Amino acid sequence: MRKQNGGTFDPRTKLALGMMGIAAVLMTGNARYLVVEFLLLFLGMSLFKLLRPWVRSLKLMLPLVVLVFVVSLLSFSLIPALSLSLRLFNLFTLSFIFFQSMDPQELGDSLRQMGVPYEFSFILTTSLRYVPLITGRMQGIMDAQRSRGIDLRLRLRNVPHFMALFMPLLIQAFVLAEQLAMAMETRGFVAKGRTFRKFYRISILEYGIMVSSLGLLLACGVWGKG
Amino acid sequence: MIDLSQIRYRYEEELGEWVLNGVDLSVSKGEYLLLCGGSGSGKTTLGYLLNGLIPHFFEGTLEGTVTVQGWDTKDLTVSDMITRVGLVFQNAEAQLFNSTVENEIAFGLESLGLSAKEVAEAIDRTASILHIQHLLSRPPAALSGGEKRLVAIASVLGLNPPVLVLDEPLAHLDWEGARKVREVLVDLHRRGTTVIVIEQRVDTIFRDVTRCAVMGSGKIVFDGAPGDALSALLDQRLIPQYPLDPRRKNGEKPVLLRARSLFREIEGKAVLNDVSLQVNEGEIVAIVGKNGAGKTTLVKHFNGLLHSPQGEVSFVGKGIRGIPPPEMAALVGVSFQNPNDQFFKNTVKDELMVGLQIAGGDSGEWIEELCSLFHLHELLEKSPYRLSEGQKKRVAVASILAMRPKLLVLDEPTVGQDGRFLEILAGLLFSLRERGITIIMVTHDMEFAQATAERWIVVHEGRVVGDGSPGQLVKDESLIELGALGLGDA
């Protein structure tokens, strides 16, 4: 399923499985079942050797999950807080597996094959591809500002300082967008009659997996309510 | 093949100022033209004219005519131009927007509606010319700077345009990347492609071209054989004439910064491997090495942005572990490569004061001195975003110095800068040293490092492989064989 292995599934199959996974997590309200779901995801990550990058991604995931837990604990009680934060954690993990297993271009190609206009699928895939670049730029800006005495640690008193992070980032994003538009234009993005070289075919096995997963999802729905 | 006649152009937002002001230029088939000029001379704008981005993408006022293969570019769209003139942009990151190198080359060919077979053949042909077959399945983001540049060239070369225009193709590259790109351009020219290179650093590519045009203030001030261009290049200060170092004293100096046994691993790869060094008070030290050698990662340990899991960094004898980088700014100032990473205020004056205001300091006299030293008085009320690249760099470095650090670290200060700025920067480094500031610069610009630094620390693949005077190190053939130094090719 990993993109590094050449992508054994049709991207549309991956997309469908990902959507069903998200639906399953959203349908599950019981914290115990959410733990079971997480264990299944964990097993999947071990099988596809995704554990190390997943652990690295926790740095971004955990602060938000903890925030949701604290806020819901203060607003409700322990059980709903656990349930909400676990659900969010599972959603993050599932999205992580989905994006690790599928290249943005594959996603764009599959959407196009499903009838989404090329311009929209291209915008989506390009946006996804530029996320790591923007993240890198953000790190560069943080280093530059901290090096001249601007404290960007997560403290209440530092909130006004974050202008020093967001302003350069915003401006650089605009400049990059303009440069990208120029580069696309000079390689004929707007020309009519584009060739599409990649077409995918869903195998019988994949149909089988999708139908089984759908069945499991429906069973999960009944189980979750029970 | 290309004719520009009586060209005047100004961008919509720059009312009154003509970026190009009376340009006449003809380029014949099979020429290899170097179009050079300092920052703000109008050379990039001229590149946009050649492939129709002006007048079709940029709004502004255009006078005169541009014809390519007999066609007025006003009568063609940018899409019509893609098989006539290929433009390789300076920023490879914006040009490479596909998932693999193969898709990158294919993008333009797919725009033309060619069959899958034709696309595949063109990809193979292009990759073979540029010797990048081994990169075809790799994502462009994972490539080195030199490889990215080659892929950017491939992405337009696939369309087989008879004219190839490259905007600063050697910027950001070390000597190894620059050599590869130069070899490719010479080969393309030999195969019959008309090549136009737009550059502000002319030292190496100058040897390859058949013709040289020098720009200044929106005009072409010289056009002729490269051998006759020297005086125009010197006039426009495109070949820097560095000031002589007024004071290079040897002798015992107290240690200011000491790094001991630094290690760092990124994604399982050792970026720093047992690095130890020391910098003494009053020195100008250059940390030199190829791109990716670990130089920038190393200096991030000097102000606590990074901490090595082993070893330590001490400043004036005291370990810096535990001191957050904002507090370190008053001791060690680090100015990174891109000045745009710093700017967020409306005026240069506010940019200079920002660190001090946060720290609650009052150093009005020091700021005044910095403004005089960096010639910033006339810029104080201007927006930092509206400055030239050289001015931006001056403001960025001055804003670091506003915190009055004892040690200034400059990360690749010469990248993207013209010869005029390099001369100014060299003079500034000497003046700062006179004021008691020790300087470390990270660079792959051997020429600048030779002109300014009294000591080099050579970093290669995460290790210090040389430490001494530039005069000794440049003669060390083992370092050149190792690839740690690349004199004469940068």
B109 and B163 together in one domain: yes
Residue B44 lies in a domain: yes
Residue with tokens 């001056």: B394
> Which is nearest to A111 in space by CA: A119, A103, A121?
A121
Positive/negative CA dihedral, A45, A49, A52, A53:
negative
**Chain A partners within 8 Å of B407 (Cβ):** none
Among B235, B269, B290, residue at a domain's last position? B235
Do the strands B455-460 and B407-411 form a parallel or antiparallel pair, or are they unpaired? unpaired
> Which is nearest to B421 in space by CA: B229, B197, B232, B201?
B201
State how far the Cα of B108 lies from the Cα of B79, in Å rounded to an integer.
Answer: 10
Residue B395 lies in a domain: no
> Which is nearest to B348 in space by CA: B381, B394, B385, B388?
B381
Mutate to test the interface with B, among A110, A186, A197, A199 (most CBs of B within 10 A): A186
The alpha carbon torsion through A160, A162, A167, A168 (nearest 10 deg) reads 140
- Domain span at B312: 255-331+405-482
State how far the Cα of B410 lies from the Cα of B9, in Å rounded to an integer.
Answer: 36
Q: What is the pTM of this model?
A: 0.86
Beta carbons of B325 and A186 less than 8 Å apart: no
Beta carbons of B400 and A147 less than 8 Å apart: yes
> Which is nearest to B299 in space by CA: B443, B143, B170, B85?
B443
Q: Which residue in chain B is spatially nearest to A175 when comparing CA positions?
A: B94
Among B207, B235, B263, residue at a domain's last position? B235
Question: Residues A13-27: what's their mean pLDDT?
Answer: 89
Cβ atoms within 10 Å of A77's Cβ, excluding its own: 10
- When CB atoms are compared, the residue of A150, A182, A197 closest to B326 is A150
State how far the Cα of B358 lies from the Cα of A162, in Å rounded to an integer.
Answer: 13
B208 and B267 together in one domain: no
Among B235, B270, B304, residue at a domain's last position? B235
Number of DSSP helices (H) and strands (E) in chain B, helices first: 18, 20
Residue B336 lies in a domain: no
B127 and B273 together in one domain: no
B14 and B107 together in one domain: yes
Q: What is the pLDDT of residue B249?
A: 62
**Chain B partners within 8 Å of A126 (Cβ):** 97
Q: What is the pLDDT of residue A4?
A: 39
Render pLDDT for B204-254 as a digit per residue (tens, 0 to 9).
Answer: 788 899 999 999 989 999 999 999 999 999 999 898 999 887 766 666 789
**Chain A partners within 8 Å of B82 (Cβ):** 186-188, 191
Q: Which residue in chain B is spatially nearest to A178 when comparing CA positions?
A: B94
Pull the structure tokens for residue B279.
């910098």
Residue B185 lies in a domain: yes
Residue B104 lies in a domain: yes
DSSP for B334-394 reads EE-S-GGGT--SSSHHHHHHHHHHHHT---HHHHHHHHHHTT-GGGTTS-GGGS-HHHHHH
pLDDT at residue A226 is higher than 80: no
Distance (Å) from the alpha carbon of B60 to chain A's nearest alpha carbon: 16
B197 to B160, B223, B436: CA distances (angstroms)? 17, 14, 42
B188 and B281 together in one domain: no
pLDDT at residue B37 is higher than 80: yes
**Chain A partners within 8 Å of B336 (Cβ):** 140, 143-144, 147
Q: What is the pLDDT of residue A3?
A: 41
Contacts of A76 (CB under 8 A, 6+ apart): none
Residue B350 lies in a domain: no
Q: What is the pLDDT of residue A157?
A: 83
Question: Residues A108-131: what's their mean pLDDT?
Answer: 88
The number of domains in chain B is 2
DSSP for B299-313 reads HTTTTTSS--SSSEE
**Chain A partners within 8 Å of B79 (Cβ):** 185, 188, 190-191
B142 and B266 together in one domain: no
Residue B376 lies in a domain: no
Q: What are the φ/ψ torsions at residue B56 (nearest 5 degrees)?
A: -85, -25
B211 and B280 together in one domain: no
> Which is nearest to B417 in space by CA: B462, B378, B385, B448?
B448
State how far the Cα of B358 lies from the Cα of B318, in Å rounded to an integer.
Answer: 25
State how far the Cα of B464 lies from the Cα of B163, in Å rounded to an integer.
Answer: 44
Pull the structure tokens for residue B221.
């001030």
Residue B240 lies in a domain: no
Q: By percentage, how much of chain A surpasses pLDDT 90?
A: 33
**CATH number of the domain bearing residue B194:** 3.40.50.300
Mutate to test the interface with B, among A4, A187, A192, A198 (most CBs of B within 10 A): A187
B63 and B140 together in one domain: yes
Render pLDDT for B290-345 as a digit per residue (tens, 0 to 9).
Answer: 888 899 999 999 999 999 998 999 999 999 998 888 889 889 999 998 999 999 99
Question: Residues B366-382: what's their mean pLDDT?
Answer: 90
B164 and B266 together in one domain: no
User: Quick one: chain B helix, strand, coil %, rounded to 5?
Assistant: 35, 25, 40
Render pLDDT for A56-107 as a digit per residue (tens, 0 to 9).
Answer: 888 878 888 999 999 998 888 888 899 999 999 999 999 999 888 888 888 8
pLDDT at residue B457 is higher than 60: yes
> Which is nearest to A221 in space by CA: A25, A19, A5?
A25
Beta carbons of A144 and B342 less than 8 Å apart: yes
